[in-house]
Amino acid sequence: MIGEVANVTSGSRISIVTPARNEVGHLPRLIESIVGQTLRPFRWVIVSDGSTDGTDKVALEAAAQWPFIDFVRRDDDGGRDFAKKVSAIELGLTHVDGDEDFFGNVDADVEFPSGYFEALVEQMRLDPSLGVAGGLVVDVDEDGCVHGRPGRPDIVPGAVQLFRRSCFDEVGGYMPLRNGSEDTVACLVAQMRGWRTAVIDTLEVRHHRTSGTADRSLLRARYREGKRDYAIGYHPLFALAKGVKRIPERPALVGALARVVGFSAGLAGRQGPEVADDVVAYLRARQLAELKIRC
């Protein structure tokens, strides 16, 4: 019940960090969602990443009301950047104990069902090999319409990633990547280290913003997704196949073209992927194997 401190059973201590930049419109919903959990986090750090709206005020009021919430402000040179998001998460990590059983990265624009963390932790306790888990994210647009989001069952979206703390430490945390996909890379590295990563599709999480559109149009977001796929080492054949598969995705056809153009721009830049060679090799081997299965 909201207002009561949830019981934390042995082996279920959770710490989460939420980087929030100008999220005054979404943060109150997330706070209500977290406070209403049947298994609350032991510590929740909200990092205002250079916010210029009322985000700080909302977070400070929540921290004053709920002892498990901490507020930290991080000032920078402005603008959204995926590498800056990782820096905000790392700052938040300095404010948690480090001896929690699970560590989560939660975006400011999501909403959980009340039993979300309790059910997720139970799944991870039942399977000691499960290192990264999260719910099934669906996008909710400004009209309240729910849209399914394409994704893979073993790549947990960064908006809702919950790590077994030992897995997070073994992975080495998040890699600051200019174009994003630090969440995908974390899952890939976890798999390379022998951990299982999984989306729990019975736990739906509502995301109140179309992915990648916080400061850009949907078409520009698709273009950047293509650049991001190149930066983490996608095989060109798989990137092309992905573009074809995503033709129906909003905005239909032109979004898929923008994604392919973005990937091609990265390829033409000849700078190479941002991640380590062993991660690229692991990812491409998976992708080529999948293409053969589909043929």
Instruction: Give 194's contacts (C-beta < 8 A, 6+ positions apart).
Output: 129
pTM score: 0.87
Question: Distance between CA 60 and CA 49 in Å, rounded?
Answer: 14
Exposed/middle/buried for 226, CB within 10 Å: 0-12, 13-18, 19+? buried
What are the phi and psi torsion angles at 289 (to 5°)? Answer: -65, -40
Average pLDDT score over residue span 14-39: 96
Question: E strand or H helix at 201, and its extent?
Answer: strand 196-207
Residues 169-223 have pLDDT tens digits of 999 999 998 888 999 999 999 999 999 999 999 999 999 865 444 445 888 889 9
Say which CATH topology domain 14-207 has: Spore Coat Polysaccharide Biosynthesis Protein SpsA; Chain A (3.90.550)
- How far CA 82 is from CA of 21, 60, 78, 104, 175, in Å, comes to 12, 24, 12, 17, 10
Question: Distance between CA 25 and CA 58 in Å, rounded?
Answer: 10
Average pLDDT score over residue span 5-12: 56
Question: E strand or H helix at 293, and its extent?
Answer: helix 277-294
Instruction: Give 261's contacts (C-beta < 8 A, 6+ positions apart).
Output: 223, 226
- Which residue, chain included where needed, has tokens 């991640």? 275
Domain ranges of the chain: 14-207, 218-294
Q: What is the largest CA-CA distance in the chain?
A: 58
Residues 220-247 have pLDDT tens digits of 889 999 999 999 999 999 999 999 998 9
> Which amino acid would we find at residue 99?
D
Residues 79-132 have pLDDT tens digits of 555 788 899 999 999 999 888 999 999 999 999 999 999 999 999 999 999 999
